[in-house]
Structures are given as structure tokens and as C-alpha cells.
Amino acid sequence: MIMDRIALILSIIGALNWGSIGLFQFDIVAWICGGSASLLARIIYTVVALAGVWCISLLFRTRETFDELEDPQ
């Protein structure tokens, strides 16, 4: 499902941003958007958080559900 892939990509981007904060004390999103309090940065943080919440559903899906989504007949 396309929504799963988008959510996974956004979660990976968020993880990389958190990694840069933890390792280098450098917030990539804030740097791009002109500060962590800017409206655009807050929107990006919110979208990434929603993607993470969506990815929680991946933990509870069975393998058969994934097979049905990839190979509909």
C-alpha cells in the first residue's frame, strides 16, 4: 500500500533527523526551515509524527495482509 511506504519513508527521515540531533546537536529540519519554531518546521515535525503513528499499524498486521496488498487477484 502506498500510504505504508510514504509513512515508512517519512519515519526514516525523522529517524535520520533525530540521529543528527543526537550525534551532532544539529537539527536538519530547523536548519532548512529557519528554526524549530517556524510554521514550516512545525508542519514537518507533525507530518513525521503522524507517519510514525501510522507505522504502528504495521506491527499488528499479519503477513497474509501484506501478501494480499502486494498481489491482489
What pLDDT, in 10s, does the model give residues 13-26? 999 999 999 999 99
Q: Where are the domains of the chain?
A: 2-70
Q: For the chain, what is the mean pLDDT?
A: 90
Overall size of the chain counted in residues: 73
Helix (H) or strand (E) holding 60: none
State how far the Cα of 36 lies from the Cα of 54, in Å rounded to an integer: 23
Say if pTM beats, i.e. exceeds, 0.85: no
